[in-house]
Amino acid sequence: MSKIFFYLLIASSLLFSDILKSEVKPTQEELERIKIEQERAVKDKISQLVSELKVIEERISKRDSVWIKSYASYLTSLEVRESLDKIVERINYLQKKRDKSLSEADELNALLGREKILTSQIEKLKRKDSSPFSNLITPPNIDEIASVTNPLDIFMGISLMKTLDKDFSDYVLKKDELNKLIILLRAEINIYTQIEAIDTEHKYKEQLDFKLKQLERFESALDTMNVTVDVYEKRLDIITVNINKDIEVQILKLIKIAVTIFVVFLIFFLLKLIIKKYIKDNERFYMANKIITFINFTLIILILFFSYIENANYLVTILGFASAGIAIAMKDWFMSILGWLVIVFGGSVHVGDRIRVDMDGMQYVGDVMDISLLRMTILEDITLTAVTQNRRAGRIIFIPNNYIFTRMIANYTHSSLKTVWDGVKITITFDSNHKKAMHLAKEITKKFSKGYTDITRKQLNKLRSNYSLKNTNVEPRIFSFIEPNGICIDAWYLTNAYGTLTLRSVISTEIIDAFLAEDDITIAYPTQMLHMEASAKRKPPFESDEVV
């Protein structure tokens, strides 16, 4: 399209020159028309190029490139530094001026505040104004590569090779992304150059200069990365070869050790068969078997020890294997220690909390007195559980910390919540005024649990920031259920977690007194009715009136 446009311009200019050379001179109107057509053609071409430019810019913006963002940060740092220099210059001028007006004094204070803000921004962007792509073009750091000298290092070496390959792939991806971005920038600069060639007003001169500087920065970064990739790849190949060689040596060494241990096992196994055949005394056989087993494992440990004694790290490896065996043998202790970490740092149970623990089919409710490394100590209190199930209270209960993973532990006073729901149920007869009974029960529970209701409402509002709370209704709830011997009035209310039985006793007696005071409410309880009938005496069938 650009070639066709230039051909049209050349043709129109030749036609215009021919008209001028001809004997018939063009009129002023023809000259104006030709000029307007040329200007229109130029504007159409510029509009077309600007449209193409927008398409390229959209492609660049959609890439969301880290290179563009880094360059934008670089420009921002330059602008901040330039603004700071101007502010410092103005501050120096105002400070040197002796007779300052009130407005100049206010301006000085405002400039000093802006200077502090811009100085802090300069500190954050201090690396951006000198080298915008220093972090991007710097290859991944390769630390000192340790040799693979024991079996555990094999996995570390394999993991290290995977990590290095991934870092190198990411670095190559960044280079490819920069290369694609440079291609788009060159196309963008080409369009700006075409516009500048035909635009007499030079509106896009500033944008062209900006893009040229940007392209220069990007091309410089790409040249650096091309050289770095070659060097980094060669170094990576050397590291990979060395690690593979060390891994191969360690695998061969492990095979030799495994064969040696197998031979030792085989020898001692045959030795056990021999003593079993020739030693008939059970006690002597047991002692000999124990001695052979001890010598067998001792030899295996010595083989492993002397195989890796050349470095202290090997001793650490052997101790690691030994500690793993100890951990298996004492797993309950280690699980209790882990449970202690979960309890202490998880915050699920604290000293002073009231908890319930299910242990071996029994339930224990008490207050946490101590949380040690291996167990929790709770003091059993008189609770509904103690009254209805255990018939015991006041005992010191020791709970292993590993129960936090395997048992049901309920916390009645978790976080700031110190209240629980408790309930009282009373059955009335079917012919009683159950609506009045429900109303009386609700008024009594409201009266005696009002303080706990208000406390719970405040506590739940505090917990909203940490937990998802959907049902936060704290008012007493009254339910009625049909039972075989009447209507059950079930009243639920909030009470102190440490004194549930006290309030339960008070509310129970108050409800009973209120029900007994009403003529149309009768408390139901299991009863039996006995029907008695007088039976007439009958003569036995074998009796007769005849006298023999």
pLDDT of residue 13: 54
Residue 376 and residue 402: Cα distance in Å, rounded? 10
Inter-residue long-range contacts of 375-382, CB under 8 Å, 24+ positions, other chains counted = 375/336, 375/399, 375/400, 375/401, 376/343, 376/349, 376/401, 381/354, 381/498, 382/501
Helix, strand, coil shares of the chain, percent, nearest 5, are: 65, 10, 25
Lowest mean pLDDT among 195-209, 241-255, 406-420: 195-209
Does the pLDDT value for residue 530 go beyond 50?
A: yes
Helix 151-198 × helix 66-96 angle, to 10°: 70
Give the chain's mean pLDDT.
78
Does the pLDDT value for residue 492 go beyond 90?
A: yes
pLDDT of residue 154: 79
The arithmetic mean of pLDDT across residues 208-234, rounded, is 82
Tens digit of pLDDT for each residue in 298-351?
Answer: 888 878 777 766 655 655 665 666 666 666 666 777 788 888 888 877 778 888
The arithmetic mean of pLDDT across residues 351-359, rounded, is 86
The arithmetic mean of pLDDT across residues 404-421, rounded, is 85
What is the share, in percent, of the chain residues with pLDDT greater than 90? 11
- Per-residue b/e over 470-504, b at no fewer than 16 CB within 10 Å? eeeebebebebeeeeebbbbbbbbbbbbbebeebb
Does the domain made of 347-411 have the CATH classification 3.40.50.1820? no
- The larger pLDDT score, comparing residue 487 to residue 144, is at 487
- Per-residue b/e over 87-120, b at no fewer than 16 CB within 10 Å? beeebeebeeeeeeeeeeeeebeebeeebeebee
Residue 285 and residue 296: Cα distance in Å, rounded? 16
Of 154-168, 192-206, 493-507, which has the strongest mean pLDDT? Answer: 493-507
- The larger pLDDT score, comparing residue 464 to residue 365, is at 365
pLDDT of residue 443: 93
| Dihedral class, residue 202 (left if φ above 0, else alpha if ψ from -120 to 50, else beta) | left
Indicate the domain borders of the chain.
Answer: 2-63, 133-329, 347-411, 419-516
Does the pLDDT value for residue 117 go beyond 60?
A: yes
What is the share, in percent, of the chain residues with pLDDT greater than 70? 82
Topology at the third CATH level for domain 419-516? Alpha-Beta Plaits (3.30.70)
Eight-class DSSP state of 409: E
- The larger pLDDT score, comparing residue 535 to residue 501, is at 501
Radius of gyration of the CA atoms of the chain, in A = 47
Residues ≥6 apart with Cβ < 8 Å to 353: 367, 368, 411, 412, 413, 414
- The larger pLDDT score, comparing residue 542 to residue 394, is at 394
pLDDT band at 440 (very low <50, low <70, confident <90, very high): very high
Q: Which helix (H) or strand (E) holds 365?
A: strand 362-371
CA distances from residue 485 to 302, 306, 427 in whole angstroms, order as listed: 80, 83, 8
For residues 432 and 520, the answer to whether their CB atoms sit within 8 Å is yes
Tens digit of pLDDT for each residue in 7-41?
Answer: 445 545 544 555 444 445 567 777 777 777 777 77
